[in-house]
Amino acid sequence: MKIVIVIPTYNEAENIGRLTDVLQQEFLKRPQHDFHILVVEGNSPDGTANIVREKMKSNLNVHLLMEKVKAGLGAAYVYGFREAMNELKADVIVEMDADFQHDPKDMVRLIDEIDNGYDYVIGSRFTKGGSIPEEWAFKRKFFSVGGNIFSKLVLGIFNVNDFTSGFKASRVKGFVDRLSLDKILSQGFAYKIDLLFKMHRLGAKIKEVPIKFGLRDRGDSKMEKNNLRDSLRVVVLLRYNENKSFVKFLFVGVAGFIVDASLFNILRISILSSRNAALASGFVAMMVTFLLNNYWSFGERKIEGVKEKVLGFVIYITSSFIPIFVRSKLVGFAVSTFGDTALVSNTAFLIGIIFGLIWNFTVYSKIIWKGKK
């Protein structure tokens, strides 16, 4: 297999020459593969590019890609991925830092798992046997560990423990070649989370290999100050894009709830019995939510055609009426059993709403706005 190690650099003159030398030695350990190094240079002022050019004279498997300006880690990788796929015809792409935080000796361990049939192999700091540097300040440790737990829960990917590792091997065929690289959500560090999420969605067989993440050997950190905020934005955006309709449906639900609950209480106190107030407020809220759902939550699957609209509306009223009816019965039963107090009626009312939420989303998304297949 042709394996291209993509290494982004910015002011890594003290590291890049030594790193390529060590990697060349590692390549000899797996003679069955054709290894290449592709340095994506962010136009460093410290002469990093010249060191790479020097190495290229005696090593045909070292390549240099020059960026016009330093544009962030994500941008550098996208540039490198394209070159590795289109020009170098890579079968496997490895992502790796230039500063020896990733032990070059671990590289073949990632490749071995690709050989074992995995498509996406992550050098993981947060799996058994992996670690982050003891020396890191508490804050960096906290955000690194916390950020990973947060990503795991929000994205619902439970077989991964390290979402922001920069040491990975990816299979090109069927995976990297199917990613829309121009739609990556971050130009910076957070591109990693987006890429991982998309590989997971493509059905990549993922394997975590424990690594000990070292301290930067020499040179200065290029960590951007906004990494944390940017990562948070990417995680939330990915979740939102996945469940756009549901998130919007919930917002519509909140709007409906405000209309419903206030009207319910106004009517209950003024002119109607609790039972009838629940009926009337539910009906008004239903009309409001139908309009918002059709033009916003399920806007992409908006009902077209007059006949379809009428039919959709009739099904909507009929199905939405079921939880309202159930709720009204529930409130009636609760107040006659436990007494007509605000606490009793509102508790029964709330239980009814939860039932309605589940019922409605199911009917709306599976029947009324099921969309075209």
Ligand X SMILES: Nc1nc2c(ncn2[C@@H]2O[C@H](COP(=O)(O)OP(=O)(O)OP(=O)(O)O)[C@@H](O)[C@H]2O)c(=O)[nH]1
Name the residue nearer to ligand X (CB basis): 168 or 268: 168
**Interaction of residue 260 with Mg ion, rule CB under 5 A:** no
Name the residue nearer to ligand X (CB basis): 102 or 275: 102
Q: Which amino acid is at 130?
A: G
Helix (H/G/I), strand (E/B), else coil: 8: strand
The least CB distance from residue 198 to Mg ion, in Å, is 24
**Interaction of residue 99 with Mg ion, rule CB under 5 A:** yes
The least CB distance from residue 56 to Mg ion, in Å, is 24
How far, in Å, are 113, 192, 220, 230 from residue 216 at the CA level?
Answer: 26, 19, 8, 22
When binding is defined by CB under 6 A, the residue of 49, 63, 72, 168 that contacts ligand X is: 72
Alpha-carbon span 241 to 248, nearest angstrom: 11
Q: Which residues, at least 6 apart from 307, have a Cβ–Cβ distance to it below 8 Å?
A: none
Closest CA to 367 of 307, 292, 286, 303: 303
Instruction: Please identify the residue of the shown chain whose CB is closest to the bound ligand X.
Output: 221
Ranges within 78-107 binding ligand X (CB under 6 A) = 97-99, 101
Name the residue nearer to ligand X (CB basis): 216 or 233: 216
Closest CA to 285 of 304, 265, 299: 265
Range in contact with ligand X (rule: CB under 6 A) among 70-78, 241-249, 342-350, 352-360: 70-78
The least CB distance from residue 97 to Mg ion, in Å, is 5
* Rounded (10°) angle between helices 191-201 and 73-86: 50
Name the residue nearer to ligand X (CB basis): 59 or 144: 144
How far, in Å, are 134, 145, 189, 222, 291 from residue 165 at the CA level?
Answer: 17, 12, 10, 16, 45
**Contact at 8 Å (CB) between 130 and 103?**
no
The least CB distance from residue 215 to Mg ion, in Å, is 9
Binding mask 200-229 for Mg ion (x = CB under 5 A): ----------------x-------------
The least CB distance from residue 53 to ligand X, in Å, is 16
Alpha-carbon span 373 to 365, nearest angstrom: 13
Q: HEC string of 193-213?
A: HHHHHHHHHCCCCEEEEECEC
**Contact at 8 Å (CB) between 158 and 139?**
no
Name the residue nearer to Mg ion (CB basis): 214 or 299: 214
Alpha-carbon span 339 to 191, nearest angstrom: 57
Name the residue nearer to Mg ion (CB basis): 101 or 320: 101
Name the residue nearer to ligand X (CB basis): 100 or 175: 100
Name the residue nearer to ligand X (CB basis): 84 or 204: 84
Range in contact with ligand X (rule: CB under 6 A) among 7-15, 20-28, 149-157, 239-247: 7-15
Helix (H/G/I), strand (E/B), else coil: 2: strand
The least CB distance from residue 99 to ligand X, in Å, is 5
Name the residue nearer to ligand X (CB basis): 228 or 317: 228
**Interaction of residue 101 with Mg ion, rule CB under 5 A:** yes
CA dihedral 350, 354, 355, 357 (to 10 degrees): 130
* Rounded (10°) angle between helices 244-269 and 274-292: 150
How far, in Å, are 12, 63, 273, 356 from residue 20 at the CA level?
Answer: 12, 11, 80, 62
Binding mask 187-216 for ligand X (x = CB under 6 A): -----------------------------x
Binding mask 28-67 for ligand X (x = CB under 6 A): ------------xxx------------------------x
**Interaction of residue 164 with ligand X, rule CB under 6 A:** no
**Interaction of residue 244 with ligand X, rule CB under 6 A:** no
Burial label, 36 (beta-carbon count in 10 A; 0-12, 13-18, 19+): buried
When binding is defined by CB under 6 A, the residue of 198, 207, 222, 327 that contacts ligand X is: 222
Task: Give the binding site for Mg ion (CB under 5 A).
Answer: 97, 99, 101, 216
Task: Give the binding site for ligand X (CB under 6 A).
Answer: 8-10, 12, 40-42, 67, 70-73, 76, 97-99, 101, 216, 221-223
